[in-house]
Copies of this chain bind each other. A is one copy, B any other.
Amino acid sequence: MTVPRFAGVVPPIVTPLTAERTVDAASLERLVEHLLSAGVDGVFALGSSGETVFLSDDQRDRALEVIVKTVGGAVPVLAGCIEPSTQRVIDRTAAAVRLGVEAVVTTAPFYAIVGPHEIERHFRAIAAAVPVPVFAYDIPVCVHTKLSVELLTRLAADGVLAGVKDSSGDDVAFRQLCLAVQDADFSLLTGHEVVVDAMMLAGASGSVPGLANVDPAGYVRLHQACVAGDWETARREQDRLTRLFRIVDAADPATSAGATRGVGAFKTALTMLGIIESNAVSLPLRPLDEQEAVRVRTQLDHAGLL
């Protein structure tokens, strides 16, 4: 196995907003620097953690502009181009490529009811239209379709896809995919921040951990231990990070759900670390309140981050 071009820790960067819900460029610059100084291997802009489906095209362009400029070529920038259908994705990739990203990341179609043939046609049409590498974003919890091992293997072999960001929660399929593509130049990035050690053992090339917004240095240490074959160190670091991930339980479950709880907690933690200004999130999400923030602070403290 050779290391594919895109590997290592590639945090899905959150998009800091002002209280008026405009992109907060100064906070975003600080966040990029926070990631780079920890030694990350890439930045994934406008993913689910980046509130991509909540942002207007203008907001998306502004966020990309700030990220690409601040990264300054130090590491690759991958951009989520997440739209329900083929032509809309292609239109977004054009903007992203113009703004200087190294690769684009896109999901299966969503909202419209489609089957395997439509999904394959979707990825092939996008790859044919885009001059940079294309990643598949496998996230059934959002698009309600799992990309099959067979499809991903075929698209890897045909050079349609450069890799996958796996947020499928299906480690069995991920393991089978690792074996199926091991001779291709194909990046296998796990999106599950609490099992990075296990997925690296299984054959992943790297990770896209939302929690790395908060503790990028921890994920860099974890990745380095895995690459070095020091699995006991990796496991200890992972266990610490898995406990830290409990910040996503800070929001009251009676009045909040998935996106509010995840992005809301990451942003709240980043304000406590002095990196971003506000924990504002897009409608219809709500920011964590003060009582919830106390729970985030407790976990940051336990993880040694304060």
Residue of B nearest to A57 (CB): B57
Closest-CB distance, A231 to chain B (whole angstroms): 5
- The answer to whether A283 and B122 have CB atoms under 8 Å apart is yes
Q: Does A38 contact B (CB under 8 A)?
A: no
A101 to B256, CA, bound (A): 34
- The answer to whether B198 and A171 have CB atoms under 8 Å apart is yes
Contact (A171, B197) CB under 8 Å given A82-B111, A112-B142, A283-B125? no
A119 to B192, CA, bound (A): 26
The one of B121, B194, B243 in contact with A286, judged by C-beta atoms closer than 8 angstroms, is: B121
What is the interface residue range for chain A against chain B? 35 or more
Hey, what's the 0/1 contact readout for A274-296 against B, CB within 8 Å counting as 1? 00000000111110000000000
The one of B122, B144, B179, B284 in contact with A85, judged by C-beta atoms closer than 8 angstroms, is: B284
A175 to B169, CA, bound (A): 12
A91 to B282, CA, bound (A): 14
Q: Which residues of chain A in 73-93 are interfacial with respect to chain B, using CB atoms and an 8 Å cutoff?
A: 82, 84-88, 91
- Stretch from A2-10, A26-34, A48-56, A156-164 at the B interface: A48-56
Q: Does A16 contact B (CB under 8 A)?
A: no
The one of B112, B142, B260 in contact with A53, judged by C-beta atoms closer than 8 angstroms, is: B112
Closest-CB distance, A20 to chain B (whole angstroms): 12
Closest-CB distance, A146 to chain B (whole angstroms): 11
- The answer to whether B172 and A111 have CB atoms under 8 Å apart is no
7 additional A-B pairs beyond A121-B283, A201-B231, beta carbons within 8 Å, are A54-B85, A56-B88, A117-B255, A118-B260, A119-B284, A125-B283, A202-B235
